């Protein structure tokens, strides 16, 4: 394969050589004498025109020449005609400013504010040329010097700290056409090409400046229909269709309207390819993400990229799957993928803890690359364990605590039978008042522990002084952190900063990082880089102006800890420092702080760049917030300000293969101002029958301490019943609590002698009219396509690589597509099995253990267990009630599952037909 780097290197050499020839051929006599120089603003001669004004004589920001904020000016004049400041008539755009004053400059049109010279004499032609600071081109005069093409300060011509002179010229009308060249380059060189996709290597030059260029295939007349474009030195080009000799025409237009046309030809014909394409890079995950673990037992993904060929624009691919280093299914043949760059292969049989990878070959015609292999993925079908949860604030789930902030920590294991593990990737968790809520399948961020808070009452500390200040000019502030840090931990820092006095477009530099010192060492130097224990966030940006420091804007920085340090062995500080190299700002940069209620738990220092340090601990808290993410296998979170009552923390783990585990539910009882209260009975969802419109029931309530308690029943029509008060300290029963037909909400309210009120979680019960009891409890379940096999109480079918079916130990009837049973004694089991085992299924039928193995659902994920699936719904009896009475007869009952409500409750609808 031809080396493309060498190809472009040759092209670059040709361009440079051509450009030198073009410059040497250019010669025009100058017709003016500008006498440009830097003057004191008040001493500019009357026959001179101010081009730009400067803050200082060299290394300076600039402003428009018609402003009067600065004390120096670059001024020029002409001995041919009067020149004015402006951009009209016959003008030259000399320099561009970002702002009308206090601005960096550019000469490549990066900024929009144009600074021009103009003349009304249309017979004259302007031109501008940059040169090295030590030279001025013939026929040109230097106006001033710059350091960069853009974002630059201004200097006197030839200044030692400048890089380029900006040279101008005013000459008689130009009649000399532009010069240039064109060379067509294909992958095979400049003589012939095997593809119609080529590159044009171009040069262009003119004594007064080039305006635009255009190109056309085959005939010079086609240029007429081509659009004018910006000129370039390299252009991708598509030759006209068909093999043969191809010519490309190239036209250049200068600013005076003069044009010149150039052309080059190349032979285009079929070219034999003798070199194969390069090998692609192969990933073995979905969405072209490289993964190490995967959780499917029948599907693999792969993608590939970066293959190239020197002749053909179209590359084809083929692949095969490898299993534990050998060909999958002993089939080492490759499957053609065409030009596709990814593949998903289903219908496989993949095994727990086995390793799979893809081999991919890129090919063009009969030329193939070597075999490129992915780095493999290991199968993990086992769910991670349910997390083990603890609370440092509410450790006993059966006790109430007078602590309104709940802090929880948890971890989970994910180990396969052979000892390999994909490991825990993260968790989904939430806190609410329902005992069985399921977290969603979205991982939460790790908990960010707050180490210092950002307080600001208008205090300001200088970080960088403007250039008119005498030393010291730069300061650093230090705030102590009482925390342990572990290598690779993430740290977020928020700092309140402001530009003071007025708003100017200056890039101001700030450094933020962590350091460690010996215990009690204090500070004696400004520069603390040698003590850094984290990455250094070095930011340069236009800090927002604030009229007063209490309005300072907050800026965020991210750090990564690079060594493990403990608070017991070292003093750890956050550093916010100005940059000593940032010495050209118009205004001061300051950090905010607070002088009220100063935190004395940690040291605060400030040091200047003269190494004078002051202990500010008793005086100010600098406006710095520091948070760090927890790390390691154990996760943490906290919930502050909980009201009295019972809460449930729900958490489940996700492993690196993508498996979500089962949920752990942890109860928290808060009685910060009162007692914990809860309804013991009736149960949530219980049904009561009546032959009237009301029912009176008994409600059992438990409290954790002495309190006056009453029970409230909210009726379906919006009315309510409130029981009499009862004073007790453990358990009491409230009789004759009145309910109405339909769903009623019950809750208890406890009031202590101190006036602290606690409300229990709600219990929902149903009141229904009495009916003639059902005598036939037969349930028929239909599954189209299932067959009775291999046992007389199983009806199942194969779907993909799994068997889906239903079963009952004592069916009243069973046949193709259905099963019927008295479900009051034996439920009908619906199952999915990857490896169907008749004996195993029979064993699991005993006492409904089959259903209890994992919770049934309508959707499923593949896992290593032989039976059923995962879902977070909790199941139990379903109660149906209402105020309608059915006549004796036969009815069909349809129960539709609508998912889970936002508050975590199962949503069912029931229809009788």
Give pLDDT tens digits for 292-312: 999 898 999 999 999 988 777
Please compute the mean of the pLDDT values over residues 35-44 and round it to a whole number: 89
Rounded CA-CA distance 746/688 in Å is 14
Q: Mind listing the pLDDT tens digit for each residue in 615-665? A: 999 999 999 999 998 777 889 899 998 888 888 999 999 998 988 888 999
Output 448 or 227, whichever has higher pLDDT: 227
What is the predicted pLDDT for the residue at 865?
42
Rg (CA), the chain: 41
Query: Is 888's pLDDT higher than 70?
Result: no
Rounded CA-CA distance 847/805 in Å is 19
Question: If you average pLDDT over each of 414-428, 661-675, 833-847, which comes out highest?
Answer: 661-675
What is the predicted pLDDT for the residue at 53?
92
Q: Mind listing the pLDDT tens digit for each residue in 748-792? A: 998 888 777 888 878 888 888 765 455 555 677 777 888 886 667
What is the predicted pLDDT for the residue at 856?
38
Residue 166, phi then psi, degrees to nearest 5: -100, 110
Output 21 or 704, whichever has higher pLDDT: 704
Query: Is 33's pLDDT higher than 80?
Result: no
Please compute the mean of the pLDDT values over residues 32-61 and round it to a whole number: 87
User: pLDDT band for position 28 (50/70/90)?
Assistant: very low
* 135-139, 667-671, 781-785, 851-855: the lowest-pLDDT one: 851-855
Nearest CA among 546, 529, 545, 548 for reference residue 537: 529
Please compute the mean of the pLDDT values over residues 434-445 and round it to a whole number: 83
User: pLDDT band for position 818 (50/70/90)?
Assistant: confident
Please compute the mean of the pLDDT values over residues 455-468 and round it to a whole number: 87
Strand ranges (DSSP E) for 643-703?
645-655, 664-670, 677-681, 687-690, 694-703
Cβ contact 679:883 at 8 Å:
no
What is the predicted pLDDT for the residue at 891?
66
Cα dihedral 95, 96, 100, 104, rounded to 10, equals -90
Cβ contact 191:271 at 8 Å:
no
What is the predicted pLDDT for the residue at 278?
93
Rounded CA-CA distance 84/92 in Å is 11
Query: Is 257's pLDDT higher than 70?
Result: yes
Report residue 489 as tokens.
Answer: 């931990």
Helix (H, G, I), strand (E, B) or coil at 329: helix
Query: Is 30's pLDDT higher than 50?
Result: no
User: pLDDT band for position 895 (50/70/90)?
Assistant: low
User: pLDDT band for position 15 (50/70/90)?
Assistant: very low
What is the predicted pLDDT for the residue at 890?
65
Q: 54 forms bridges with which residues in the sheet?
A: 62, 72
Please compute the mean of the pLDDT values over residues 383-397 and round it to a whole number: 92
Strand bridging mode 490-500 / 624-629: antiparallel
Nearest CA among 583, 620, 415 for reference residue 506: 583
723-734 burial by CB neighbour count: b if 16+ within 10 A, else e? beeeebeeebeb
* 132-146, 433-447, 575-589, 765-779: the lowest-pLDDT one: 765-779
Length of the chain: 913
* Contacts for 101 with CB less than 8 Å, ≥ 6 apart: 63, 64, 67, 69, 70
Cβ contact 646:424 at 8 Å:
no
Nearest CA among 35, 77, 36, 74 for reference residue 56: 74
Q: Mind listing the pLDDT tens digit for each residue in 498-546? A: 988 777 777 888 999 999 999 888 888 999 999 999 999 988 888 888 8
What is the predicted pLDDT for the residue at 900?
63
Output 837 or 817, whichever has higher pLDDT: 817
Question: If you average pLDDT over each of 10-19, 413-422, 474-483, which comes out highest?
Answer: 474-483
* Contacts for 803 with CB less than 8 Å, ≥ 6 apart: 796, 797, 832, 833, 834, 836
Nearest CA among 282, 309, 455 for reference residue 372: 282
Please compute the mean of the pLDDT values over residues 351-373 and round it to a whole number: 91
ω before 24 within 30° of 0 (cis)?
no
Q: 735 forms bridges with which residues in the sheet?
A: none
Q: What percent of the chain has pLDDT over 90?
A: 38
The owner of tokens 């977070």 is 872
Strand bridging mode 244-254 / 210-217: antiparallel
Alpha-carbon distance values, 50 to 37, 38, 67, 145 (Å): 10, 10, 10, 16
Query: Is 454's pLDDT higher than 80?
Result: yes
Alpha-carbon distance values, 354 to 301, 322, 343, 376 (Å): 16, 11, 20, 10
| Adjacency order of strands within the sheet including 300-305 | 281-283, 300-305, 342-345
What is the predicted pLDDT for the residue at 370?
93
Rounded CA-CA distance 86/115 in Å is 7
The owner of tokens 């073009």 is 22
What is the predicted pLDDT for the residue at 78?
65
Q: Mind listing the pLDDT tens digit for each residue in 236-256? A: 999 999 889 999 999 998 877
What is the predicted pLDDT for the residue at 541?
84
Output 648 or 836, whichever has higher pLDDT: 648
* 48-52, 86-90, 319-323, 896-900: the lowest-pLDDT one: 896-900
User: pLDDT band for position 867 (50/70/90)?
Assistant: very low
Query: Is 877's pLDDT higher than 90?
Result: no
Q: 900 forms bridges with which residues in the sheet?
A: 906
Query: What is the H or E stretch that residue 4 is in?
Result: helix 4-24
Nearest CA among 273, 272, 337 for reference residue 305: 337
Report residue 286 as tokens.
Answer: 């979905």
User: pLDDT band for position 850 (50/70/90)?
Assistant: very low
Q: Average pLDDT over the chain, rounded to whole? A: 82
Q: What percent of the chain has pLDDT over 70?
A: 82
Please compute the mean of the pLDDT values over residues 582-605 and round it to a whole number: 88
Output 795 or 471, whichever has higher pLDDT: 795
Q: Could you give the angle at the alpha carbon of 130 between the alpha carbons of 125 and 134, nearest 5°?
A: 125
Cβ contact 707:729 at 8 Å:
yes
Query: Is 1's pLDDT higher than 50?
Result: no
pTM for the structure as a whole:
0.49
Nearest CA among 197, 295, 184 for reference residue 249: 184
ω before 682 within 30° of 0 (cis)?
yes
């Amino acid at each position: 394969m031809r080396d493309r780097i060498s190809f472009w290197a040759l092209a670059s050499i040709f361009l440079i050589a051509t450009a030198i020839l073009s410059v040497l051929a250019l010669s025009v006599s100058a017709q003016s004498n500008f006498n440009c120089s830097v003057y004191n603003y008040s001493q500019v001669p009357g026959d001179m025109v101010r081009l730009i004004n400067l803050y200082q004589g060299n290394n300076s920001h600039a402003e428009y020449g018609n402003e009067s904020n600065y004390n120096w000016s670059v001024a020029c004049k002409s001995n041919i005609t009067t020149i004015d400041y402006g951009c009209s008539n016959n003008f030259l755009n000399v320099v561009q400013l970002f702002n009308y004053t206090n601005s960096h400059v550019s000469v490549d049109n990066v900024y929009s504010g144009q600074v021009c010279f103009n003349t009304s004499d249309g017979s004259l032609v302007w031109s501008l040329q940059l040169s090295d600071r030590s030279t001025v081109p013939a026929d040109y005069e230097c106006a001033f010097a710059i350091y960069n093409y853009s974002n630059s300060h201004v200097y006197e011509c030839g200044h030692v700290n400048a890089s380029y002179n900006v040279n101008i010229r005013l000459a008689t009308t130009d009649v000399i056409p532009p010069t240039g060249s064109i060379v067509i380059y294909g992958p095979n060189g400049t003589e012939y090409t095997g593809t119609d996709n080529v590159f044009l290597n171009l040069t262009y030059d003119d004594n007064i400046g080039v305006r635009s260029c255009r190109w056309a295939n085959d005939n010079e007349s086609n240029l007429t229909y081509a659009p004018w474009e910006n000129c370039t030195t390299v252009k991708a080009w598509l030759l006209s269709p068909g093999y043969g000799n191809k010519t490309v025409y190239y036209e250049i237009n200068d600013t005076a309207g003069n044009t010149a046309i150039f052309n080059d030809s190349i032979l285009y014909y079929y070219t034999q390819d003798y070199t194969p394409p390069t090998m692609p890079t192969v990933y073995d995950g979905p969405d072209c993400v490289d993964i190490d673990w995967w959780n499917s037992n029948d599907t693999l993904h792969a993608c590939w990229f970066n293959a190239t060929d020197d002749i053909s624009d179209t590359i084809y691919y083929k692949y095969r799957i490898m299993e534990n280093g050998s060909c999958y299914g002993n089939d080492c043949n490759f499957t053609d993928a065409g030009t596709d760059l990814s593949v998903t292969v289903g219908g496989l049989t993949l095994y727990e803890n086995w390793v799979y990878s893809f081999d991919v070959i890129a090919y063009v015609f009969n030329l193939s690359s070597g075999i490129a292999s992915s780095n493999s993925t290991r199968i993990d079908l086992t769910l991670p364990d349910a997390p083990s949860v603890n609370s440092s604030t509410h450790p006993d789930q059966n006790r109430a605590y007078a602590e309104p902030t709940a802090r929880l920590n948890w971890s989970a294991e994910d180990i396969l039978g052979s000892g390999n593990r994909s490991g825990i990737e993260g968790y989904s968790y939430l806190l609410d008042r329902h005992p069985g809520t399921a977290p969603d399948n979205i991982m939460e961020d790790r908990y960010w522990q707050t180490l210092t808070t950002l307080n600001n009452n208008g205090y300001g500390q200088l970080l960088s002084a403007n250039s008119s200040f005498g030393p010291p000019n730069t300061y650093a502030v230090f705030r102590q952190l009482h925390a342990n840090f572990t290598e690779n931990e993430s740290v977020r820092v928020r700092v309140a900063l402001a530009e003071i006095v007025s708003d100017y477009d200056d890039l101001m530099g700030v450094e933020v990082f962590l350091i460690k010192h010996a215990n009690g060492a204090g500070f004696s130097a400004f520069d603390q880089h040698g003590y850094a224990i984290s990455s250094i966030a070095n930011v340069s940006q236009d800090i927002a102006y604030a009229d007063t420091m209490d309005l300072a804007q907050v800026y965020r920085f991210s750090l990564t800890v690079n060594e493990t340090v403990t608070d017991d062995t070292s003093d750890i500080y956050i550093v916010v420092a100005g940059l000593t190299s940032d010495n050209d700002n118009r205004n001061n940069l300051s950090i905010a702080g607070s002088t009220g209620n100063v935190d004395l738990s940690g040291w605060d220092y400030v040091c200047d760049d003269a190494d004078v340090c002051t202990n500010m601990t008793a005086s100010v808290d600098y406006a710095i917030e520091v948070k760090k993410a927890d790390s390691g296998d154990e996760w943490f979170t906290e919930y502050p300000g909980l009201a009295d009552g019972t809460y449930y923390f729900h958490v489940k783990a996700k492993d690196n293969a993508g498996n979500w585990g089962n949920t752990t539910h942890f109860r928290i009882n808060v009685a910060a101002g009162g007692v914990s209260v809860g309804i013991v009975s009736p149960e949530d969802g219980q049904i009561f029958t009546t032959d009237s419109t009301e029912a009176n029931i008994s409600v059992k309530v438990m409290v954790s301490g002495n309190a006056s308690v009453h029970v409230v029943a909210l009726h379906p029509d919006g009315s309510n019943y409130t029981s009499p008060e009862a004073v007790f300290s453990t358990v009491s029963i409230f009789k004759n609590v009145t309910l109405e037909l339909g769903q009623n909400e019950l809750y208890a309210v406890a009031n202590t002698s101190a006036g602290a009120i606690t409300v229990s979680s709600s219990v929902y019960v149903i009141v229904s009219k009495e009916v003639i009891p059902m005598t036939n409890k037969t349930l028929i379940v239909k599954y189209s396509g299932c067959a009775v096999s291999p046992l007389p109480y199983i009806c199942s079918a194969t779907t993909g690589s799994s068997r889906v079916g239903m079963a009952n130990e004592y069916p009243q009837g069973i046949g193709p597509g259905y099963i019927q049973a008295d479900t009051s004694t034996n439920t009908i089991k619906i199952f999915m099995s990857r490896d169907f085992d008749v004996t195993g299924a029979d064993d699991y039928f005993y006492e409904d253990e089959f259903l209890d193995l994992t919770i049934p659902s309508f959707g499923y994920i593949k896992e290593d267990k032989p039976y059923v699936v995962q879902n977070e719904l909790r199941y139990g009896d379903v109660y149906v009630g209402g105020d309608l009475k059915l006549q004796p007869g036969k009815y069909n009952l349809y129960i539709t599952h609508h998912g889970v409500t936002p508050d975590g409750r199962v949503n069912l609808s029931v229809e009788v037909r």
